[in-house]
């Protein structure tokens, strides 16, 4: 009983949050409506007894939305992010695509003859998840994560119009005729560099 | 409603608010001593301020995003309560999550959103600067904090708070993972936006995120800040300080006593260090602290591997 009530609360929150993203006219509200939607999905995952994945989903999604708030001001030129604005574009095409996707998925759910469950859940799901990721897939993880991280850093460096590399050149060695860095940073970092 | 649920709903918020009040009073007393004013006036200062704010009319600005603003203001104190519900008091824990440690982490990330929304909602330039200052600071403290949280999890081989507490029966984690404990304590101050990490509320930006807050909204945020500090200090007890372990007194009392001791340390910390600007913290955190915490994790992992469990 309580479980069904909780499920429906989370499910309605997830869908309503998703809809709100496109209805509201403020970047901040859209961002955090999306966060609410994801948090509700995280709640549903916890209800499936996948505690770790559920809580981590909540953690990552809130963090991601907060970071998005940094980026939206950093990269939006004259900052329409701070003004009321329409959150949609290409509405007709998006609506057609969304309806089609929904129909395909809904039909698939009903039509596919889903097999019965044969195995049983491990006693400690977090542990078995960890072993699955860190055991046989360790090499993949070790390869992918540095590449992903390097991609994030590189795209930031390339996209930031007022970054260090833009000001000091590719080798960070642009100097004035008097030998000092150009332009001179008014504030050094915390360890005096 | 079953008993633990009832206790969690009633007891935890009252306890958190009480301890937050005590912390604010102690802090006020130290401030009074610094100014040369009588200690008693400092002790009662938070009470007077609370009474004043409760009578004050709340004001708002044209174009303020009141919904997000109010959610953020009320949310900070709630995050503190949500953090405390997974803390074990001896064998009793209000919400015995198998991933209690990750829950704490998720709640402290929620503070990112709340502090920023608080800055955003007011529709004031100074507030927004404050909100972004907090996020800039968060980018520095969060990664070291996550690694610091990993150390007790490795030591106990579990993310459940009861297991982490039980693994410290022989030796408290703070003894053999001191660096992780230190980083955790500093991060608590940072996510409470307090002490040396208070630039989000800095006087140089007219109060930052609290610049436009008044009345009950201001009370909730300023009180919530102390509540989060209390929750962080309380969480360090099962993580590093052996939980409810201690002679004579019951476990629950020991948890509160140890929490108060940590809080005393944090209040002292505030007086030892100047305010740190976020852009300075960034370099310190990423160039110095992250490698150090990683070394700490390696040491912990090797000890656990050699010893076959916690020391």
Evaluate whether B63 touches B123 at the Cβ level (below 8 Å): yes
Mean of pLDDT values over A27-37: 92
Q: Which is higher by pLDDT, A27 or B4?
A: A27
Lowest average pLDDT, out of A118-127, B130-139, B143-152, goes to A118-127
Interface of B with A (CB under 8 A): 65, 67-68, 97-99, 102-103, 105-106, 109-110, 112-113, 116-117, 120, 132, 135-136, 138-139, 142, 159, 276-277, 279-285, 287-288
Residue B4 has pLDDT above 70, yes or no: no
Picking from B189, B194, B222, B187, the residue whose alpha carbon sits closest to that of residue B52 is B222
CA of A181 vs chain B CAs: smallest distance (Å) = 19
- CB contact (8 A) between residue A69 and residue B65: no
All structural domains of chain A with their residue ranges: 1-111, 122-176
**DSSP letters spanning B29-90:** HHHHHHHT--HHHHHHHHHHHHHHHHHSPP---TT--HHHHHHHHHHHHHHHHHHHTTSEET
The pLDDT-based confidence of A161 (bands split at 50, 70, 90) is confident
Evaluate whether B254 touches B246 at the Cβ level (below 8 Å): yes
- CB contact (8 A) between residue B117 and residue A32: yes
Range of the domain at B78: 3-307
**Beta pairing partners, B146:** none
At A71-81, the pLDDT tens digits run 776 676 555 55
Residue B1 has pLDDT above 50, yes or no: no
Between B98, B109, B284, which is nearest A126 by CB? B98
Number of independent structural domains in chain B: 1
- CB contact (8 A) between residue B99 and residue A55: yes
**Cβ contacts of B67 on chain A, cutoff 8 Å:** 29
Evaluate whether B150 touches B290 at the Cβ level (below 8 Å): no
% of chain A beyond a pLDDT of 90: 44
At B246-292, the pLDDT tens digits run 888 999 899 999 999 999 999 988 889 999 988 889 889 999 999 99
**Cβ contacts of A29 on chain B, cutoff 8 Å:** 65, 67-68
Mean of pLDDT values over B66-95: 93
Q: Which is higher by pLDDT, A184 or B307?
A: B307
What is the average pLDDT value for chain A, to the nearest integer? 86
Give residues with Cβ within 8 angstroms of B70, minimum separation 6: B121, B217
Q: How far is CA B143 from CA A10, A42, A64, B282, in A?
A: 29, 22, 14, 11
């Amino acid at each position: 009983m309580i479980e069904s009530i909780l499920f429906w609360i989370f499910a309605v929150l997830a869908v309503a949050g998703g809809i709100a993203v496109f209805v509201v006219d403020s970047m901040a509200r859209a961002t955090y409506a999306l966060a609410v939607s994801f948090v509700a999905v995280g709640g549903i995952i916890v209800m499936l007894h996948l505690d770790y994945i559920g809580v981590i989903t909540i953690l990552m999604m809130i963090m991601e939305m907060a970071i998005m708030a940094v980026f939206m001001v950093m990269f939006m030129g004259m900052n329409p992010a701070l003004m009321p604005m329409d959150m949609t574009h290409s509405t007709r095409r998006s609506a057609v695509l969304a309806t089609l996707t929904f129909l395909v998925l809904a039909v698939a759910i009903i039509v596919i003859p889903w097999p019965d469950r044969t195995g049983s859940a491990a006693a400690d799901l977090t542990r078995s998840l960890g072993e699955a990721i860190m055991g046989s897939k360790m090499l993949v993880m070790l390869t992918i994560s540095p590449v992903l991280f390097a991609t994030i850093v590189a795209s930031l460096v390339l996209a930031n119009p007022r970054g260090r590399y833009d000001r000091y050149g590719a080798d960070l060695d642009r100097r004035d005729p008097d030998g000092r860095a150009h332009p001179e940073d008014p504030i050094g970092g915390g360890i005096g560099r | 409603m079953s008993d633990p649920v009832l206790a969690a709903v009633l007891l935890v918020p009252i306890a958190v608010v009480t301890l937050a009040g005590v912390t604010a009073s102690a802090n006020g007393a130290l401030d009074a001593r610094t100014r040369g004013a009588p200690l008693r006036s400092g002790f009662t200062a938070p009470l007077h301020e609370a009474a004043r704010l409760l009578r004050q009319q709340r004001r708002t600005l044209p174009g303020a995003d009141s919904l997000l603003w109010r959610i953020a203001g009320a949310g900070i104190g709630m995050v503190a309560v949500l953090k405390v519900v997974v803390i074990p008091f001896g064998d009793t824990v209000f919400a015995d999550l198998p991933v209690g440690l990750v829950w704490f982490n998720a709640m402290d990330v929620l503070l990112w959103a709340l502090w920023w929304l608080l800055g955003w909602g007011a529709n004031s330039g100074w507030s927004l600067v404050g909100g972004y200052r907090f996020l800039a600071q968060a980018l520095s403290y969060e990664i070291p904090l996550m690694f610091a949280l990993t150390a007790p999890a490795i030591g106990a081989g579990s993310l459940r708070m009861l297991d982490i507490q039980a693994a410290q029966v022989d030796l408290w984690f703070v003894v053999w993972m001191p660096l992780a404990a230190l980083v955790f304590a500093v991060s608590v101050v940072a996510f409470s936006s307090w002490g040396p990490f208070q630039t989000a509320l800095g006087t140089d930006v007219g109060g930052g995120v609290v610049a436009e807050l008044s009345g009950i909204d201001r009370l909730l945020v300023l009180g919530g800040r102390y509540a989060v500090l209390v929750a962080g200090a309380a969480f360090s007890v099962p993580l590093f300080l052996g939980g409810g372990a201690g002679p004579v007194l019951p476990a629950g009392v020991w948890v509160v006593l140890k929490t108060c001791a940590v809080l005393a340390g944090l209040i002292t910390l505030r007086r030892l260090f100047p305010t740190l600007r976020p852009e300075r913290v960034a370099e310190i955190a990423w160039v110095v602290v992250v490698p150090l915490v990683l070394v700490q994790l390696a040491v912990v992992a090797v000890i656990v591997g050699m010893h076959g469990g916690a020391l």
